[in-house]
Structure 1
Amino acid sequence: MAMTVYAFGVSLVLGGGLISFFPRFIIPLSTNHMDAIIIFFIVGLAFSALYFLIFRWSILKFDIKTPGRDVTGEVKLHTKKDYKAKKAAEASNDQEPVASGTSPVRQSNNPNAKKATHFLEGLGGSENVTDINNCATRLRVSVADESKILDDAFFKSGGAHGVVRNGTAIQVIVGLDVPKVREFFDEIVEDES
């Protein structure tokens, strides 16, 4: 846009927003150079229309997923009553009776609890885990017997982004929700030991 405005003989600094644009461009030039202001607004409107048409065509042609577009094309607004009913259903599902001898975390519908259960199974069970730690994105575990650890595909099927192995030191790359996964992981190991 700047190149087009310059081609029409208008020299200005683009950027900074409308509030800074008025005192730096419109007010000083309004007395003697109204043609420059008019050129700027005509070019701006033309580029706005161009941007709209190009982006709309691209989004529809290549089916680019953008916020507010549902896969089915329908938008449903939920009421507060719908939200409360959904939360009540989730709470009742989380309070299912737990079979004796199993950790309550293993019965949870929480996705992070499911990941923790899956990763523990891939690491050879709670009896194989000797130390648990984490960093920003990885669950760091020391194991007693590295031969009990399953292959990387098993961990990826449970939501991991990968596995780093260094002898008995294992790092499961979980992502930014690793602190939540670790809480459930610790709880399962505690309950089963």
Structure 2
Amino acid sequence: MMLDMRLRRAGFSALLVECRDGEHVEAWRAEIWRRREAGELRVTDIVPGARTVLLDGVAPGTAELLADWPEPSVAQKQVQRLVEIPTTFDGEDLSEVAAIWGVSSTAVIDRLIGTELVVAFGGFAPGFAYLRGMPEAWSVPRLAAPRPRVPAGSVGLAGPYAGIYPTASPGGWRLVGHTDQQLFDVRAEPPALLTPGTRVRLGPA
């Protein structure tokens, strides 16, 4: 059975794979990466998004090749490394998140500590990872007006995602805590600690 996706051209040498949801994005990203490493596919960059995977630098005939693949299996995809982020849950929006969820602040912390997250994609700023894995019922709205400055290391929630600010910047995510973990280092390879597919757990500092 083929995956319910669509392929679109994106410029001269790029393709956009449109998927149903985040899990299918991760399945396609992992399968494309695996086949590229095995020499079965030529593609320069693999860039996942919320419901898309952008492939840049593809060889002629790649669209036909992808269309013939069987559906990538989410359950059988390669197990990625786990990164534990020591987190102090002292965010100024913690009580508001608790009110939105209808639980205590302690219950919010317990839920976040007990949930394994996965890097869906990066964006917004170098090293900023959108972390999926929270139930849809836990989605929270962004702030009505973004803060002019969110400190580096702040852990926040917005919509269905969690995220950690790698550097100080404006932002409208609801802050639930902070970490001292360095998330982006231009001298490292790769520079970002949290790359797509990486499993993440927020733990007590």
Please identify which structure carries the higher helix content.
1
TM-score (norm 1): 0.20
Instruction: Name which structure has the greater RCO, CA cutoff 8 Å, separation 6+.
Output: 2
| Structure holding more strand per residue | 2
Higher gyration radius (CA): 1
